[in-house]
Structures are given as C-alpha cells and as structure tokens.
C-alpha cells in the first residue's frame, strides 16, 4: 500500500519548522507533484489544529495522483493571521526547491515537478507557475540556490488577479480602492501577488478548473489567466463546471468532475510525456 512519510522539515523560520508529508505510491512513475490545501491563506492559531498538510483537500486532490503513481509532497505553509504575504509564496517556492534538491532521495526527476492546489492554494500554485523561480547562486543554503520553477500546474478556482474582480484578501495586508494610484505601495503589492501579472512564454502548461456559479472566486479569474497564457503561447485548458459553486468538490455541479482523473491525465501528458 502507499505509505506516508510525515513531518519532513523542508525549512525553518525563526525556530518554526516548515513541514511536509510525502505520499509514496506503490508503483512510482518517477514524477513528483507539490500539493497545497486551500484555506483562504489562513490557519487556526490553536496548538491542536489540524495541519494544512492533513486537510480533506489531500484526499480529493492528491490521493488520486498517488494511486496513479505520482509521489506527492503536500505542504504546510505560513498563513494568516500570524503571517502575511509573501510568506506563503516563499514557503511554496522553498518546498519546490527542497523537493528538487532531494529528488535523488525520492527517485523523482528534478526537471519534471508538478504543482496542484485549489482556491487559495490554487493561487499559490499559479504563482509557482508564473513567477521567475530562479535561485540565488550566492545564498548560504544550497537548496535556495536551486530553481523553484515547476513544469506543470493544475489549479482549481484560483484567484489570479487582486487588481480587479477579486478584492485583496487579508493575507496581503492592504486596502485597495478603485482610485488607488498605480505607483502606490498597495497597488504594487496587489500586482506583485497576482499570477496574471507574471504570465510569460516561459510558463509551464496550465490546467484550470472552475465552477461557473462560483460567487466567491468568479470564473473570470480563470478565464483571464487562460486568455493571457494562450496569448503567450503556453499550453492551457480551462475546464468549466456548469452549476458548480466554490468548493473542493464543486458543490452544485450538474456533472461533478473527476478532479483526480483530469489532473492525472494532464500531468501524464505534460510531465510523463516530457523529455
């Protein structure tokens, strides 16, 4: 049976251990996928709270990929109310770098790493796919010297722009008004934190899934990212879910999608078929 390597430390922050669980499949296919659970970029303050890496999202989004042979790295990241942007983004990049550095230990290809997440975690994996993840060759950590780029992304109901259509959430720690000047720090932060602002021809293939009746993260957020990626010449597919509202299982969907099957097929095509 697949087994889980729990509480692997992928980094430290002032004495706080950043943890991930590694889900090892029975028959690994040599490909690793970094997973994050949607939480509104937040985590409870309770000492007994369930870690993000053990969220129910793992069963919906990650477990089917383990069954398909993918090695899954599901992460805890720093979150509100204690930590604000860019902590969660930095943690996701650190997680990718850690996985890449230890690729030989986990029998995966360091040049074929995917990422999957939904809602706030969808935003985070979209950032992994759009940001320039180059490492710092002068960093004291050999892990941080490596690239945080991923080679394929699957995102569900992801916020992609905080400049329009989706108000800046608490994790950005800013207020943005319609008349905020583009030169203002608040505008700069909102733009910097928006995956849509970083789209280029260097982005990896993207599979986007979004409910058409999502009133928390409007489907226009995925539509605009898909349009920008297509214009940049990047492989992208937007799966529209009729009747579906916001949620990991697409509540209200007329025909609930096979999230794991869709994601697995996308990774099979763009990661297992790569190289």
The domains found in the chain, sorted by start residue, are: 3-272 (3.40.50.1820)
Under 8 Å between Cβ of 269 and 236: no
- Rounded Cα distance, 170 and 20, in Å: 24
Q: E strands within 100-195?
A: 113-118, 152-156
Rounded distance between C-alpha atoms, residue 211 and residue 220, angstroms: 10
208 Cα distance to chain centroid: 12
Residue numbers of the chain with a pLDDT score lower than 50: 275
Predicted pLDDT of residue 90: 98
pLDDT score at 12: 97
Q: Which of 100, 73, 217, 75 is nearest to 159 (CA)?
A: 217
Identify the DSSP state of 42.
Answer: B
What is the per-residue pLDDT for 2? 75
Cα distances from 6 to residues 20, 22, 74, 76, in angstroms, run: 7, 6, 10, 12
Q: In DSSP terms, which residues pair with 73 in a beta bridge?
A: 22, 34
pLDDT of residue 274: 55
Answering whether pTM is above 0.95, one says yes
Spatial CA neighbour of 117 closest among 205, 235, 43, 207: 207
Q: How far is CA 266 from the centre of its chain?
A: 15
Task: Dump pLDDT digits (tens) for 17-72.
Answer: 999 999 999 999 999 999 999 999 999 999 999 999 999 999 999 999 999 999 99
First-to-last alpha carbon distance for the chain, in angstroms, is 29
Cα→Cα distances 200→110, 161, 231, 233, 269, Å: 22, 15, 9, 8, 21
Please say whether the beta carbons of 251 and 223 come within 8 A. Answer: no
Separation between Cα atoms, residue 228 and residue 188, nearest integer Å:
20
Q: What pLDDT sits at residue 275? A: 45
């Amino acid at each position: 049976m697949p087994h889980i390597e729990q509480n692997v430390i992928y980094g430290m922050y002032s004495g706080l251990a950043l943890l991930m669980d590694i889900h090892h499949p029975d028959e690994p296919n040599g490909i690793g996928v970094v997973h994050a659970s949607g939480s509104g970029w937040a985590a409870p303050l309770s000492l007994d709270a369930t870690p993000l890496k053990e969220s129910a999202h793992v069963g919906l989004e990650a477990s089917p990929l383990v069954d398909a042979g993918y090695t899954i790295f599901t992460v805890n990241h720093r979150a509100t109310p204690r930590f604000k942007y860019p902590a969660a983004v930095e943690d996701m990049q650190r997680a990718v770098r850690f996985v890449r550095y230890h690729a030989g230990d986990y029998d995966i290809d360091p040049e074929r790493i995917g990422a999957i997440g939904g809602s706030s975690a969808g935003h985070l994996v979209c950032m992994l796919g759009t940001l320039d993840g180059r490492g710092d060759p002068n960093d004291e950590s050999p892990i941080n010297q490596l690239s945080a780029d991923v080679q394929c992304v699957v995102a569900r109901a992801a916020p992609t722009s905080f400049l329009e259509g989706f108000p800046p959430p608490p994790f950005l720690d800013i207020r943005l008004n319609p008349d905020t000047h583009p030169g203002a720090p608040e505008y700069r932060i909102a733009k910097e934190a928006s995956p849509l602002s970083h789209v280029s021809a260097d982005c990896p293939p993207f599979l986007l899934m979004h409910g058409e009746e999502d009133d928390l993260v409007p489907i226009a957020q995925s539509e605009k990212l898909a349009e920008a990626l297509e214009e940049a010449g990047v492989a992208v597919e937007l799966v529209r879910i009729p009747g579906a509202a916001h949620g990991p299982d697409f509540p209200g969907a007329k025909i609930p999608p096979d999230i794991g099957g869709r994601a697995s097929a996308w990774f099979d095509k763009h990661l297992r078929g790569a190289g």
